[in-house]
Copies of this chain bind each other. A is one copy, B any other.
Amino acid sequence: MTAIPNRIGSIDQDVFKQLESEVRSYCRSFDTVFAKAKGARLWDKKGREYIDFFAGAGALNYGHNNERIRSRIVDYMMNDGITHSLDMATEAKERFLLTFQHKILKPRGLSYKLMFPGPTGTNSVESALKIARKVTGRTNVIAFTNAFHGMSLGSLAATGNAYKRGGAGVSLSGTTFLPYDGYMGPLFDTSLLMEKMLNDAGSGVDKPAAVIVETMQGEGGLNAASAKWLQRLESLCREHEMLLIVDDVQMGCGRTGTFFSFEEAGIRPDIVCLSKSIGGYGLPMALTLIKPEYDIWNPGEHNGTFRGNNLGFVAATEAIAFWEDGTLELRIKEHSFSIRKFLERTAARYGGKIKEVRGKGMIQGLVFNNPDDAGQLCRKAFERGVIMETSGSRDEVAKLMPPLTIEKELLAEGMAKLEASLSEMYDFAEQKEPVGIHP
Protein backbone atom coordinates (compact mmCIF):
# COMPACT_ATOMS: atom_id res chain seq x y z
CA MET A 1 0.00 0.00 0.00
CA THR A 2 1.47 3.34 -1.02
CA ALA A 3 2.05 5.79 1.79
CA ILE A 4 0.22 9.06 1.54
CA PRO A 5 2.62 11.92 0.81
CA ASN A 6 2.71 14.24 3.75
CA ARG A 7 0.95 17.20 2.31
CA ILE A 8 -1.08 17.79 5.41
CA GLY A 9 0.18 20.86 7.11
CA SER A 10 1.06 22.95 4.09
CA ILE A 11 -1.32 25.80 3.45
CA ASP A 12 -1.42 25.88 -0.31
CA GLN A 13 -4.01 24.15 -2.47
CA ASP A 14 -1.71 21.91 -4.49
CA VAL A 15 -3.55 18.77 -3.52
CA PHE A 16 -6.84 20.24 -4.66
CA LYS A 17 -5.38 21.45 -7.92
CA GLN A 18 -4.00 18.04 -8.67
CA LEU A 19 -6.74 15.78 -7.46
CA GLU A 20 -10.01 17.70 -7.46
CA SER A 21 -12.03 18.53 -10.53
CA GLU A 22 -11.82 21.85 -12.31
CA VAL A 23 -15.42 22.41 -11.26
CA ARG A 24 -14.29 23.63 -7.83
CA SER A 25 -15.13 27.28 -7.39
CA TYR A 26 -15.18 28.94 -3.98
CA CYS A 27 -11.80 27.52 -3.10
CA ARG A 28 -10.45 29.58 -5.97
CA SER A 29 -11.63 32.78 -4.31
CA PHE A 30 -10.38 31.83 -0.88
CA ASP A 31 -6.92 30.53 -1.56
CA THR A 32 -6.03 28.77 1.65
CA VAL A 33 -6.83 25.55 3.45
CA PHE A 34 -9.21 25.94 6.34
CA ALA A 35 -8.78 23.90 9.45
CA LYS A 36 -11.08 25.03 12.21
CA ALA A 37 -14.14 27.16 12.77
CA LYS A 38 -16.22 28.42 15.68
CA GLY A 39 -19.20 30.72 15.62
CA ALA A 40 -18.49 33.33 12.95
CA ARG A 41 -14.77 32.69 12.83
CA LEU A 42 -12.61 30.36 10.74
CA TRP A 43 -8.93 29.56 10.95
CA ASP A 44 -6.71 28.17 8.27
CA LYS A 45 -3.92 25.68 8.75
CA LYS A 46 -1.42 28.37 9.59
CA GLY A 47 -3.76 29.64 12.25
CA ARG A 48 -4.79 32.77 10.42
CA GLU A 49 -8.23 33.95 11.52
CA TYR A 50 -11.12 34.94 9.27
CA ILE A 51 -14.48 36.51 9.95
CA ASP A 52 -17.24 34.62 8.18
CA PHE A 53 -19.52 36.96 6.24
CA PHE A 54 -20.65 34.10 3.98
CA ALA A 55 -22.03 31.50 6.41
CA GLY A 56 -21.95 28.63 3.95
CA ALA A 57 -24.22 30.60 1.62
CA GLY A 58 -26.86 30.38 4.31
CA ALA A 59 -26.15 26.90 5.62
CA LEU A 60 -24.53 28.13 8.80
CA ASN A 61 -27.10 30.53 10.20
CA TYR A 62 -26.30 29.36 13.73
CA GLY A 63 -22.56 29.59 13.17
CA HIS A 64 -19.84 26.96 13.12
CA ASN A 65 -19.70 24.29 15.77
CA ASN A 66 -22.45 25.68 17.90
CA GLU A 67 -21.85 24.02 21.24
CA ARG A 68 -25.44 23.37 22.21
CA ILE A 69 -26.12 21.64 18.93
CA ARG A 70 -22.83 19.81 18.91
CA SER A 71 -23.34 18.32 22.31
CA ARG A 72 -26.68 16.91 21.18
CA ILE A 73 -25.13 15.33 18.10
CA VAL A 74 -22.20 13.84 19.95
CA ASP A 75 -24.39 12.47 22.72
CA TYR A 76 -26.64 10.93 20.13
CA MET A 77 -23.76 9.33 18.32
CA MET A 78 -22.05 8.05 21.44
CA ASN A 79 -25.34 6.56 22.49
CA ASP A 80 -25.46 4.52 19.26
CA GLY A 81 -28.28 6.61 17.87
CA ILE A 82 -29.22 5.79 14.31
CA THR A 83 -27.29 7.79 11.71
CA HIS A 84 -28.80 6.53 8.52
CA SER A 85 -32.24 5.02 8.12
CA LEU A 86 -33.52 5.79 4.62
CA ASP A 87 -37.03 6.83 5.57
CA MET A 88 -37.57 4.33 8.33
CA ALA A 89 -39.08 5.77 11.47
CA THR A 90 -36.55 6.77 14.11
CA GLU A 91 -36.71 8.53 17.41
CA ALA A 92 -34.58 11.36 16.06
CA LYS A 93 -36.95 11.96 13.19
CA GLU A 94 -40.01 11.71 15.42
CA ARG A 95 -38.59 14.31 17.74
CA PHE A 96 -37.83 16.60 14.84
CA LEU A 97 -41.32 16.19 13.38
CA LEU A 98 -42.92 17.10 16.68
CA THR A 99 -40.59 19.99 17.33
CA PHE A 100 -41.06 21.48 13.89
CA GLN A 101 -44.81 21.07 14.16
CA HIS A 102 -45.14 22.62 17.59
CA LYS A 103 -42.41 25.21 17.59
CA ILE A 104 -42.38 26.38 14.01
CA LEU A 105 -45.63 25.63 12.20
CA LYS A 106 -48.26 25.91 14.92
CA PRO A 107 -47.17 29.26 16.36
CA ARG A 108 -47.31 30.69 12.84
CA GLY A 109 -50.70 29.20 12.11
CA LEU A 110 -49.31 27.11 9.28
CA SER A 111 -50.40 23.65 8.33
CA TYR A 112 -48.06 21.49 6.23
CA LYS A 113 -47.12 17.87 5.86
CA LEU A 114 -43.36 17.35 5.99
CA MET A 115 -41.57 15.56 3.21
CA PHE A 116 -37.91 14.62 3.43
CA PRO A 117 -36.48 14.55 -0.06
CA GLY A 118 -32.76 14.01 -0.63
CA PRO A 119 -30.80 16.26 1.76
CA THR A 120 -30.21 19.21 -0.58
CA GLY A 121 -32.12 22.22 -1.76
CA THR A 122 -32.30 21.06 -5.33
CA ASN A 123 -33.92 17.84 -4.23
CA SER A 124 -36.56 19.75 -2.34
CA VAL A 125 -37.25 21.83 -5.45
CA GLU A 126 -37.43 18.73 -7.64
CA SER A 127 -39.96 17.19 -5.28
CA ALA A 128 -41.97 20.42 -5.13
CA LEU A 129 -42.22 20.62 -8.90
CA LYS A 130 -43.19 16.98 -9.16
CA ILE A 131 -46.01 17.20 -6.68
CA ALA A 132 -47.28 20.48 -8.16
CA ARG A 133 -47.43 18.83 -11.57
CA LYS A 134 -49.15 15.80 -10.13
CA VAL A 135 -51.72 17.85 -8.26
CA THR A 136 -52.65 19.99 -11.24
CA GLY A 137 -52.04 17.60 -14.10
CA ARG A 138 -50.19 20.43 -15.85
CA THR A 139 -46.53 20.62 -16.79
CA ASN A 140 -45.56 24.26 -17.21
CA VAL A 141 -44.11 26.18 -14.24
CA ILE A 142 -43.60 29.91 -13.97
CA ALA A 143 -40.20 30.95 -12.72
CA PHE A 144 -38.66 34.39 -12.60
CA THR A 145 -35.75 36.23 -14.11
CA ASN A 146 -32.61 35.72 -12.04
CA ALA A 147 -34.14 32.88 -10.07
CA PHE A 148 -31.85 30.22 -8.66
CA HIS A 149 -33.39 26.90 -7.69
CA GLY A 150 -30.66 24.30 -8.08
CA MET A 151 -28.51 22.32 -10.47
CA SER A 152 -30.24 19.02 -11.15
CA LEU A 153 -32.19 19.17 -14.39
CA GLY A 154 -35.65 19.73 -12.95
CA SER A 155 -34.53 22.62 -10.78
CA LEU A 156 -32.10 23.96 -13.31
CA ALA A 157 -34.95 24.40 -15.78
CA ALA A 158 -36.33 26.98 -13.33
CA THR A 159 -32.99 28.69 -12.81
CA GLY A 160 -32.30 31.82 -14.83
CA ASN A 161 -28.53 31.92 -14.98
CA ALA A 162 -27.26 31.27 -18.50
CA TYR A 163 -23.90 29.93 -17.33
CA LYS A 164 -25.52 27.36 -15.10
CA ARG A 165 -28.21 26.49 -17.66
CA GLY A 166 -25.54 26.04 -20.29
CA GLY A 167 -24.02 23.27 -18.20
CA ALA A 168 -27.10 21.12 -18.70
CA GLY A 169 -26.04 20.00 -22.13
CA VAL A 170 -29.68 19.52 -23.03
CA SER A 171 -32.53 21.91 -23.67
CA LEU A 172 -34.29 22.81 -20.46
CA SER A 173 -38.02 22.95 -20.81
CA GLY A 174 -41.23 23.05 -18.83
CA THR A 175 -40.75 26.56 -17.47
CA THR A 176 -41.80 30.05 -18.48
CA PHE A 177 -39.64 32.89 -17.22
CA LEU A 178 -41.42 36.08 -16.33
CA PRO A 179 -39.96 39.31 -14.95
CA TYR A 180 -39.43 39.38 -11.19
CA ASP A 181 -40.67 42.25 -9.09
CA GLY A 182 -38.92 45.47 -10.10
CA TYR A 183 -37.35 43.93 -13.19
CA MET A 184 -38.52 46.74 -15.47
CA GLY A 185 -37.96 49.44 -12.88
CA PRO A 186 -40.27 50.80 -10.23
CA LEU A 187 -42.90 52.10 -12.64
CA PHE A 188 -43.92 48.84 -14.22
CA ASP A 189 -45.66 46.28 -12.05
CA THR A 190 -44.47 43.03 -13.56
CA SER A 191 -47.34 41.09 -12.05
CA LEU A 192 -49.58 42.80 -14.59
CA LEU A 193 -47.79 41.05 -17.42
CA MET A 194 -48.19 37.75 -15.63
CA GLU A 195 -51.86 38.42 -15.07
CA LYS A 196 -52.42 39.37 -18.69
CA MET A 197 -50.58 36.33 -20.02
CA LEU A 198 -52.47 33.99 -17.72
CA ASN A 199 -55.82 35.44 -18.67
CA ASP A 200 -55.08 35.47 -22.37
CA ALA A 201 -55.64 32.10 -24.02
CA GLY A 202 -53.41 33.26 -26.86
CA SER A 203 -50.36 34.19 -24.86
CA GLY A 204 -48.42 31.01 -25.53
CA VAL A 205 -47.95 30.48 -21.80
CA ASP A 206 -49.29 27.03 -21.15
CA LYS A 207 -51.48 26.95 -18.05
CA PRO A 208 -48.96 26.52 -15.23
CA ALA A 209 -48.92 23.88 -12.54
CA ALA A 210 -47.13 26.29 -10.24
CA VAL A 211 -45.30 29.51 -9.69
CA ILE A 212 -41.94 29.07 -7.98
CA VAL A 213 -40.49 32.12 -6.34
CA GLU A 214 -37.84 33.27 -3.92
CA THR A 215 -39.09 36.13 -1.77
CA MET A 216 -35.63 37.56 -2.18
CA GLN A 217 -33.24 36.36 -4.84
CA GLY A 218 -29.92 35.55 -3.22
CA GLU A 219 -27.86 34.25 -6.12
CA GLY A 220 -29.78 36.54 -8.44
CA GLY A 221 -28.39 39.67 -6.80
CA LEU A 222 -30.38 40.35 -3.62
CA ASN A 223 -33.53 41.42 -5.37
CA ALA A 224 -36.33 41.52 -2.83
CA ALA A 225 -39.95 41.20 -3.85
CA SER A 226 -42.41 43.52 -2.21
CA ALA A 227 -45.13 42.16 0.00
CA LYS A 228 -47.70 43.53 -2.40
CA TRP A 229 -46.20 41.76 -5.36
CA LEU A 230 -46.03 38.48 -3.46
CA GLN A 231 -49.65 38.87 -2.49
CA ARG A 232 -50.52 39.45 -6.15
CA LEU A 233 -48.70 36.23 -7.03
CA GLU A 234 -50.65 34.41 -4.39
CA SER A 235 -53.96 35.68 -5.64
CA LEU A 236 -53.09 34.87 -9.26
CA CYS A 237 -52.22 31.36 -8.09
CA ARG A 238 -55.60 31.01 -6.44
CA GLU A 239 -57.41 32.38 -9.47
CA HIS A 240 -55.67 30.10 -11.95
CA GLU A 241 -55.46 27.10 -9.62
CA MET A 242 -51.70 27.05 -9.72
CA LEU A 243 -49.66 26.08 -6.68
CA LEU A 244 -47.50 28.73 -5.08
CA ILE A 245 -44.07 27.35 -4.26
CA VAL A 246 -41.75 29.45 -2.13
CA ASP A 247 -38.15 28.37 -2.45
CA ASP A 248 -36.92 29.34 0.99
CA VAL A 249 -33.73 27.36 0.78
CA GLN A 250 -31.49 30.36 1.24
CA MET A 251 -33.82 32.97 2.71
CA GLY A 252 -35.56 30.65 5.15
CA CYS A 253 -34.41 29.71 8.66
CA GLY A 254 -34.21 33.33 9.66
CA ARG A 255 -31.96 34.92 7.10
CA THR A 256 -34.35 37.77 6.35
CA GLY A 257 -35.49 38.23 9.93
CA THR A 258 -38.27 35.70 10.44
CA PHE A 259 -38.11 31.92 10.32
CA PHE A 260 -39.85 31.80 6.96
CA SER A 261 -39.00 34.66 4.68
CA PHE A 262 -42.62 35.00 3.56
CA GLU A 263 -44.08 35.68 6.99
CA GLU A 264 -43.95 39.43 6.60
CA ALA A 265 -45.91 39.35 3.34
CA GLY A 266 -48.61 37.31 5.03
CA ILE A 267 -48.90 34.82 2.20
CA ARG A 268 -49.59 31.11 2.57
CA PRO A 269 -47.54 29.20 0.01
CA ASP A 270 -48.84 25.80 -1.01
CA ILE A 271 -45.37 24.34 -0.92
CA VAL A 272 -42.21 25.53 0.82
CA CYS A 273 -38.70 24.31 0.10
CA LEU A 274 -36.22 24.40 2.98
CA SER A 275 -32.64 23.24 3.21
CA LYS A 276 -29.30 24.87 4.04
CA SER A 277 -29.72 25.91 7.69
CA ILE A 278 -32.54 23.53 8.50
CA GLY A 279 -29.79 20.97 9.19
CA GLY A 280 -28.77 23.28 12.03
CA TYR A 281 -25.09 22.60 12.03
CA GLY A 282 -24.21 22.68 8.36
CA LEU A 283 -25.48 19.12 7.98
CA PRO A 284 -27.15 18.07 4.73
CA MET A 285 -30.89 18.04 5.16
CA ALA A 286 -33.86 19.29 3.20
CA LEU A 287 -37.57 19.61 3.77
CA THR A 288 -40.51 20.05 1.46
CA LEU A 289 -43.57 21.44 3.21
CA ILE A 290 -46.80 20.57 1.47
CA LYS A 291 -50.31 21.70 2.30
CA PRO A 292 -52.11 18.56 3.51
CA GLU A 293 -54.66 18.70 0.69
CA TYR A 294 -51.87 18.50 -1.88
CA ASP A 295 -49.96 15.67 -0.21
CA ILE A 296 -51.15 13.14 -2.76
CA TRP A 297 -47.86 11.33 -3.21
CA ASN A 298 -47.86 7.61 -3.60
CA PRO A 299 -45.40 5.84 -1.31
CA GLY A 300 -41.84 6.22 -2.56
CA GLU A 301 -42.90 8.19 -5.62
CA HIS A 302 -39.97 10.48 -4.86
CA ASN A 303 -37.19 9.12 -2.71
CA GLY A 304 -33.45 9.20 -2.07
CA THR A 305 -30.90 7.37 0.02
CA PHE A 306 -30.14 10.23 2.38
CA ARG A 307 -33.64 11.49 2.93
CA GLY A 308 -33.16 10.38 6.51
CA ASN A 309 -29.99 12.07 7.76
CA ASN A 310 -30.61 11.53 11.43
CA LEU A 311 -27.71 13.63 12.65
CA GLY A 312 -29.41 16.43 10.74
CA PHE A 313 -32.66 15.75 12.59
CA VAL A 314 -30.89 15.86 15.93
CA ALA A 315 -29.12 19.11 15.05
CA ALA A 316 -32.24 20.67 13.54
CA THR A 317 -34.31 19.84 16.58
CA GLU A 318 -31.89 21.66 18.80
CA ALA A 319 -31.50 24.57 16.37
CA ILE A 320 -35.22 25.19 16.46
CA ALA A 321 -34.83 26.05 20.12
CA PHE A 322 -33.30 29.31 18.91
CA TRP A 323 -36.79 30.27 17.75
CA GLU A 324 -38.59 29.60 21.00
CA ASP A 325 -38.30 33.09 22.41
CA GLY A 326 -37.73 36.32 20.52
CA THR A 327 -34.02 36.67 21.29
CA LEU A 328 -32.73 35.59 17.92
CA GLU A 329 -35.27 37.67 15.98
CA LEU A 330 -34.25 40.67 18.02
CA ARG A 331 -30.59 40.10 17.39
CA ILE A 332 -31.21 39.74 13.64
CA LYS A 333 -33.13 43.01 13.72
CA GLU A 334 -30.30 44.84 15.42
CA HIS A 335 -27.66 43.33 13.19
CA SER A 336 -29.71 44.06 10.08
CA PHE A 337 -30.06 47.66 11.13
CA SER A 338 -26.36 48.14 11.71
CA ILE A 339 -25.49 46.44 8.44
CA ARG A 340 -27.97 48.69 6.64
CA LYS A 341 -26.58 51.80 8.23
CA PHE A 342 -23.06 50.80 7.34
CA LEU A 343 -23.92 49.99 3.74
CA GLU A 344 -25.89 53.15 3.20
CA ARG A 345 -23.12 55.26 4.62
CA THR A 346 -20.68 53.48 2.37
CA ALA A 347 -22.89 53.82 -0.69
CA ALA A 348 -23.25 57.52 0.00
CA ARG A 349 -19.52 57.94 0.35
CA TYR A 350 -18.70 56.16 -2.92
CA GLY A 351 -21.71 57.37 -4.81
CA GLY A 352 -20.06 57.25 -8.21
CA LYS A 353 -18.96 53.66 -7.72
CA ILE A 354 -21.83 52.13 -5.87
CA LYS A 355 -25.23 51.98 -7.47
CA GLU A 356 -27.33 51.00 -4.51
CA VAL A 357 -27.77 48.98 -1.35
CA ARG A 358 -29.83 45.84 -1.75
CA GLY A 359 -31.25 43.07 0.38
CA LYS A 360 -32.72 42.86 3.82
CA GLY A 361 -32.25 41.16 7.16
CA MET A 362 -28.86 39.58 7.39
CA ILE A 363 -28.29 39.33 3.68
CA GLN A 364 -27.53 42.73 2.32
CA GLY A 365 -24.99 44.04 -0.11
CA LEU A 366 -23.64 46.72 -2.34
CA VAL A 367 -24.34 46.87 -6.06
CA PHE A 368 -21.36 48.24 -7.93
CA ASN A 369 -21.57 50.16 -11.17
CA ASN A 370 -18.56 48.24 -12.34
CA PRO A 371 -19.13 44.55 -11.59
CA ASP A 372 -15.38 43.96 -11.27
CA ASP A 373 -15.34 46.16 -8.20
CA ALA A 374 -17.59 43.72 -6.34
CA GLY A 375 -15.08 40.96 -6.92
CA GLN A 376 -12.21 43.22 -6.01
CA LEU A 377 -13.85 44.13 -2.72
CA CYS A 378 -14.24 40.46 -1.87
CA ARG A 379 -10.60 39.81 -2.66
CA LYS A 380 -9.39 42.74 -0.63
CA ALA A 381 -11.66 41.77 2.23
CA PHE A 382 -10.22 38.27 2.16
CA GLU A 383 -6.73 39.71 2.41
CA ARG A 384 -7.92 41.48 5.53
CA GLY A 385 -9.49 38.31 6.88
CA VAL A 386 -13.12 38.58 5.87
CA ILE A 387 -14.87 35.92 3.83
CA MET A 388 -17.61 37.21 1.59
CA GLU A 389 -18.89 36.60 -1.91
CA THR A 390 -20.53 38.24 -4.88
CA SER A 391 -23.87 37.49 -6.47
CA GLY A 392 -25.99 38.70 -9.37
CA SER A 393 -25.90 37.62 -12.99
CA ARG A 394 -22.86 39.84 -13.58
CA ASP A 395 -21.42 39.22 -10.09
CA GLU A 396 -22.03 42.87 -9.48
CA VAL A 397 -23.21 42.60 -5.88
CA ALA A 398 -20.88 42.15 -2.91
CA LYS A 399 -22.97 40.64 -0.18
CA LEU A 400 -22.74 40.33 3.60
CA MET A 401 -24.37 37.30 5.11
CA PRO A 402 -22.75 36.45 8.44
CA PRO A 403 -24.16 33.80 10.76
CA LEU A 404 -27.27 35.17 12.45
CA THR A 405 -25.60 34.49 15.77
CA ILE A 406 -22.52 36.59 15.12
CA GLU A 407 -21.35 38.75 17.99
CA LYS A 408 -21.98 42.46 17.66
CA GLU A 409 -18.29 43.27 17.99
CA LEU A 410 -17.23 40.76 15.39
CA LEU A 411 -19.81 42.10 12.96
CA ALA A 412 -18.47 45.60 13.54
CA GLU A 413 -14.91 44.39 13.10
CA GLY A 414 -15.80 42.74 9.80
CA MET A 415 -17.52 45.86 8.52
CA ALA A 416 -14.52 47.95 9.51
CA LYS A 417 -12.37 45.68 7.40
CA LEU A 418 -14.72 46.17 4.46
CA GLU A 419 -14.51 49.89 4.98
CA ALA A 420 -10.74 49.72 4.88
CA SER A 421 -10.87 47.58 1.73
CA LEU A 422 -13.11 50.04 -0.04
CA SER A 423 -10.96 52.90 1.07
CA GLU A 424 -7.93 51.13 -0.34
CA MET A 425 -9.77 50.58 -3.59
CA TYR A 426 -11.10 54.03 -4.06
CA ASP A 427 -9.54 56.62 -1.78
CA PHE A 428 -6.00 55.39 -2.03
CA ALA A 429 -6.32 54.69 -5.72
CA GLU A 430 -7.83 58.09 -6.37
CA GLN A 431 -5.01 59.77 -4.48
CA LYS A 432 -2.35 57.74 -6.12
CA GLU A 433 -3.54 58.09 -9.63
CA PRO A 434 -2.65 61.72 -10.16
CA VAL A 435 0.76 60.96 -8.68
CA GLY A 436 1.53 57.79 -10.63
CA ILE A 437 3.38 58.01 -13.95
CA HIS A 438 1.62 55.24 -15.81
CA PRO A 439 1.93 54.91 -19.55
Contacts and interface: CB of A to CB of B under 8 A. Distances in A.
B89 A27 contact: yes
Interface string A186-222: 0010001100110011111111010000000000110
Q: How large is the interface on A (under 10, 10 to 19, 20 to 34, 35 or more residues)?
A: 35 or more
A322 to B, nearest CB: 12
Interface string A142-164: 01111100111111011111111
A329 to B, nearest CB: 13
Contacts of A325: 1
A20 interface: yes
A66 to B, nearest CB: 10
Nearest to A115: B21
Contacts of A130: 167-169
Interface stretch (A176-184, A230-238, A337-345, A373-381): A176-184
A392 to B, nearest CB: 7
B88 A302 contact: no
Contact of A159 (B65, B94, B152, B204): B204
Interface string A115-154: 1101111110011011011100001100111110011111
A3 interface: yes
A83 B207 contact: no
A59 B86 CA distance: 9
A304 interface: yes
A113 B23 CA distance: 10
